[in-house]
Amino acid sequence: MSEKLDALVLGGTGFLGLNLIEALQAGGHRVVCSRRRSSNTIFARRLKVPLVQATLEDEGSLVEAMRGRETVFVFAGHYPRYSVDTERQVANAVAGLERALHAAERAKVAKVVYLGSVVSVARPANGRPARESDGVAAVPEGSTYFAVKVAMEAAAERAKAAGQDVRILCPTGCMGRYDYKVGTGFFVLGMASRKLDFFVDGDINIVDAQDVARASIATATLERAPDSRLIVAGHNVRVAELLERMSQRYGVPMPARQLSAEEGYALAESEERRCLESGRGRPRLTREMVDVVVHGQFVDDSKTREVLGTSPVGLLQTLDEAREWYGQNGYLKADDVA
C-alpha cells in the first residue's frame, strides 16, 4: 500500500470528507478539496488543504476541479435532511452524481471512489446480518433518504457497468470528529448534554469516520476495482445499548422515554413541518433518523475486511473522540465533557 494518491475530494468540506482529507494528508498523499461558494470552510482551512470551487450542478466546474487528478473521491451528494418532494430530490441527486461521473471521464480521472450508504443493501429474509450480495434494499414508503441513496448507487453501478472505474462503498452510521452539521453525532451530543429525552430503538451499525477514511484510501489504492460494492462497518449495536454504553461511561442518565416507531414517525413529521413552515430551527427528530433506526440492520463486513485488510477501532474510542471534538468546538459545555 505504498502508492501515493493524487486526489480530489468532492465534498471535502463535509463531515466524512474532512476525515478523509486528514487521513490522506497523514498518509502523505496529495489532496485537493472541493468547495461551494456557500460552503463552511473553517475546518478545511484548518487542515490547510488547497480548495477549488466545484458544484454538482455545474459539470464544467467539476471537470476543471478534476483535471490532472488520478483519483476522485465522490463524498458530495444531495443529502436530503427533510422527507419532502421525494421525486424531485431523487432526480436532483442522480443528476448531480451523473454529472460528477461524466466530468471524471472528461477529465480523464483514472478511478472514482463513490461513497454511498448501507441503506441501499437489502435486508436478508432469514434475519442474518446483511452482506454486499444481498441485493438492493426496498425503499420504505415515504423515505426520501433511502430513495435517494438507492437511486444514486444504481447510477454509480450503471457507470461501472459501462466500463468506468467506479469503486462503491456503503458506510453504516458514521460517528467521529468533524460532524459539525450533527448527523449520527446527534446521539453523542444529546447524551453528553443530557438533552436527549427520547429515543427509538432498533438495530444499527456505527462506524468511525476515520475507519471510513481508511477504507476509502485502501479502496483507491487497490490495483483493480473490487468485484462488488463494499460495506464499511464498525459495530452492530441496538440503539438502547449504544445509549446505555454512553450513560455508563459518561455518568449521564438514559433518555426518559422510548418511543415506538409510530410515535417516532409522528414526532419527526411534526418537527420537520414546524421547521419547514417557520424556516427556523432544527427538528429534534427527522424522518431520516427514524427510518435509519426502524429499517436499520446488523451487517456482516467480512468481505471488506478481507479485500481491504482493514478492521474497525473500538466503539468507545469512537464515542470518546466524537464527544471530545464537540467539547473542543463549542458544541458542549466544559461540564459536559469533564
Sites of contact with ligand NAP (CB under 6 A): 11, 13-17, 36, 38-40, 55-57, 75-79, 96, 115, 117, 171, 173-174, 181, 183-184
Listed in sequence order, the residues at least 6 apart from 327 whose beta carbon sits closer than 8 Å to its beta carbon are: 192, 334, 336, 337
Query: Of the candidates 34, 301, 78, which has an alpha carbon nearest to the alpha carbon of residue 171?
Result: 301
- Identity of the residue, 149 or 334, whose beta carbon is nearer to ligand NAP in the bound complex: 149
- Identity of the residue, 211 or 336, whose beta carbon is nearer to ligand NAP in the bound complex: 211
Q: Which amino acid is at 18?
A: L
- Identity of the residue, 106 or 263, whose beta carbon is nearer to ligand NAP in the bound complex: 106
- DSSP-H helix ranges across the chain: 15-26, 42-46, 59-66, 86-106, 144-161, 186-192, 209-221, 239-250, 261-278, 287-294, 302-308, 315-328
Smallest gap from residue 251 Cβ to ligand NAP (A): 26
Smallest gap from residue 326 Cβ to ligand NAP (A): 15
CB 7 within 8 A of CB 69: yes
Beta bridge partners of residue 185, listed in sequence order: none
- Identity of the residue, 51 or 266, whose beta carbon is nearer to ligand NAP in the bound complex: 51
Using CB positions, name the residue nearest to ligand NAP: 14
Cα separation, 96 vs 39, in Å, equals 17
Cα separation, 162 vs 101, in Å, equals 11
Smallest gap from residue 328 Cβ to ligand NAP (A): 18
Smallest gap from residue 150 Cβ to ligand NAP (A): 12
- Identity of the residue, 29 or 205, whose beta carbon is nearer to ligand NAP in the bound complex: 205
CB 173 within 8 A of CB 206: yes
- Our CA angle for 179, 180, 184, nearest 5°, is 40
- Identity of the residue, 79 or 198, whose beta carbon is nearer to ligand NAP in the bound complex: 79
Smallest gap from residue 175 Cβ to ligand NAP (A): 7
Smallest gap from residue 35 Cβ to ligand NAP (A): 6
